[in-house]
Amino acid sequence: MAEKKKNNGNKGRKMKVITINLSWFYILIIGLIIWMLFFQNSDGRANPQKIEWEEVQQMAREGDVQEIDFVRNEFEGKIKVRPDRLQKYESKFGGQVPKKSPHFFFLVSSSFNAEEMFGALNEQLPQESRFKVVIENNDKTWVDVLNWLLWPALLILFWVFMFRGMGKSMGGPAGGGIFGVGKTPGKLVDNKDKNRVTFKDVAGMYGAKEEVMEIVDFLKNPKKYTALGGKIPKGALLVGPPGTGKTLLAKAVAGEADVPFFSISGSDFVEMFVGVGASRVRDLFRQAKEKAPCIVFIDEIDAVGRARSKNGGFTSNDERENTLNQLLTEMDGFDTNSGVIILAATNRADILDKALLRAGRFDRQIHVDLPDLKEREEIFKVHLKGIKLSEDFDVEFLAKHTPGFSGADIANVCNEAALTAARHNKHKVDRQDFLDAVDRIIGGLERKDKIITPEEKKSIAHHEAGHAVVSWLLPNANPLFKVTIVPRGQALGAAWYLPEERQLMTRDQMTDEMCALIGGRVAEEIVNGQPSTGALNDLERLTKMAYSMVCYYGMSERVGTVSFYDSTGSRGYELTRPYSERTAEVMDEEVKRLVQEIHDRTLSLLTEHRQEFLEVAALLLEKEVIFADDLERILGPRAGADSSRNREEEKAAKAQEDAENSSGVNPLHREGTEEHSGEKADKVHEKDAEQ
């Protein structure tokens, strides 16, 4: 029983794995080689000097020889000189007196009779001058062989291990080293993997999932299509912004189809060695054919699939183009029913080679766009599974306050919210933690300790108040949610919007947005009489929108209903523009005229509402953060919004409900608890960028 108990105690223990650091092995080999090269003979021992038998006899007669070791089967004798006579032969050793023997050696013929010759020589000498004679056969030939083989063996081991490490550092497959650089580094995910991804793990992307479901059906039931004469598609290209879930969707296809899944990045093909990329392509497709039916997924294919240069100039890359050519050949060389489907992902489909996108290679393009409101809600539910939430948590509210967020952004928000709650020692994550996380991701970390002079703070308040008032008074501007003069990231202040998710924009909508952009700069001109450098980001975006209206969208009467937008991306390789110098001048003039009209309109609007604008700025200086309710109290209902009566009724009902629930408890300060969010990426107006 005791033995059984002992075994049960060790049942759950993990065996300790001993790992060997190969770097110490490299150091040992290098040290041994250095010792053999430099220190083996650096202990005072000189190399034995060859002499003739006559010289040996002369040295013996002079009493200089202490001992002679003769190897009978090698016909070689080694001489040890008396220590007090070594100075006599200093010149023979290049001025260095050797400290260890043997000092000389001699070679004789096979007829040499050692006993007779040494005996006769000793009889000629007085007793005190005679030398010791040792005669033997060399039976250690194998030791000498090993000594000769030790040096090349160590050298070979050193180079093998060094090349293995070099091969891994240069992208060679694991265990292959430099001798396996032509092998594909692609990872194989087998269908037996317990952690495989299915469509249940992919939230949103309804249109994309519907298209890839057909690919799954191809792999599961190929005879269903081939029986009717149909051909299984060769490949599909997933196109969309970063973070939208293209890679995840490809993994889900493999998981649903229950087939092996090869994953590789486009940058893994191209290396410093010529021909490695093409070799890796061949090896990848060879393995895929062996595992068919299967899926090969190439992530960031634009790294190897970029359009080939036509002029062979500075933009050409022979190695990358050879790799692309091999990829085109392999994709087009498949048998019709091979059962291998190629999936690729990129966010730069415009720069891909046209030969790669033709029918028979990538038969279809699947667009994976940013999620809409409903899709964001589903994505939030997926990423919130492992997070402890408060009881009154509302996922729909978060989805509404994160327009323009990708799936990766939403995952980051959920993680940042959990970290924020833990930072405040909370046991559950509430809505305010998520809102703070959104603010931090978009605008950066609050920097309340940043030193700002009172004059600068007033200028920032007027700037942000200008943005807020203009966007509030224009019906087509994005709805304002919050204004702050608390520094975040590189911005000294910001106006936060919750934009409508529009697919199209009219001229009026674009001009209203442009007025909201320049509102901060115009406000500074009204109050201070001159602008500051804080409107850098606003002017940059304003100018880009103006050029887009004139050059791309055909919204200029003078330029006409023309567009110089290049959707193919090929114009970047051309040295000439598709319009004349005169047209370019007209474009510039139209952009300046449009921006001036926007400026004058904004100036007129803020001048008309100067008193309200100054009141908003004063409130900003007092609270540092104000919300849409504060603007409505000063400016009235937002232009284009619901009637004031309905909004007042809603506010009254909400206030009554809050009063009933609070039971006399004073509400917290708005800055810390009010619902606040912002818009993702370039839709967030970070106004006062630091200069």
Query: Helix or strand or coil: residue 503?
Result: coil
* Contact (Cβ atoms closer than 8 angstroms) between residue 257 and residue 361: no
**Do residues 103 and 81 make contact, with C-beta atoms less than 8 angstroms apart?**
yes
Question: For residue 71, which phi and psi values (nearest 5 degrees)?
Answer: -100, 115
C-alpha distances (whole Å) from 324 to each of 177, 278, 311, 337, 494 are 24, 8, 17, 23, 46
As a whole number of angstroms, the distance between CA 534 and CA 517 comes to 12
> Exposure of 74 by Cβ count < 10 A (0-12 exposed, 13-18 middle, 19+ buried)?
exposed
Number of Cβ within 10 Å of residue 146's Cβ equals 11
Asked if 617 contacts 461 with a C-beta cutoff of 8 angstroms, the reply is yes
In the chain, what's the furthest Cα-to-Cα distance? Answer: 139
| Amino acid (1-letter code) at residue 305 | G
Q: How many CA atoms lie within 13 A of 482 on its CB side?
A: 27
**Cβ(590)–Cβ(556) below 8 Å:** yes
Cα separation of 189 and 295, whole Å? 10
Query: Which residue type does 337 have?
Result: N
- Cα 399 to chain center, whole Å? 28
Q: Are 308 and 353 in contact (CB under 8 A)?
A: yes
- 456 φ, ψ to 5°? -65, -40
Residues 394, 397, 401: CA angle, nearest 5 degrees = 145
165-204: buried (b, 16+ CB within 10 Å) or exposed (e) per residue?
Answer: bebbeebbbeeebbebbbbbbbeebeeeeeebbebeebbb
Q: Edge-to-edge strands of the sheet including 132-136? A: 49-50, 104-107, 76-81, 65-71, 132-136
Q: Which residues are identified as catalytic?
A: 464
Q: Which helix (H) or strand (E) holds 7?
A: helix 2-9
- CA quadruple 426, 428, 432, 434: dihedral sign: positive
Q: Please state, as a whole number, how many other Cβ atoms lie within 10 Å of the Cβ of residue 551.
A: 21
Beta bridge partners of 236: 343, 364
Structure tokens at 63: 């009493």
- Quick check: helix, strand or coil at residue 391? coil
Taking the alpha carbons of 194, 199, 200, 204 in that order, is the dihedral positive or negative? positive
**Pairing mode, strands 235-239 and 364-367:** parallel
The Cβ of residue 664 has, within 10 Å, a number of other Cβ atoms equal to 5
Distance between CA atoms of residues 212 and 368, nearest Å: 11
Strands 294-299, 340-346: pairing is: parallel
Please give the backbone phi and psi of residue 268, each rounded to the nearest 5 degrees, phi first: -75, -15
Determine the Cα–Cα distance for residues 511 and 540; give it in Å rounded to an integer.
15
DSSP H helices in 353-453: 354-357, 373-383, 395-400, 407-423, 431-443
Q: Which two tokens stand for residue 431?
A: 């809505």
Report the distance separating Cα 359 and Cα 370, nearest Å: 26
Residues 102/80, Cβ–Cβ less than 8 Å: yes
> For strand 625-627 and strand 685-686, is the pairing parallel, antiparallel, or unpaired?
unpaired
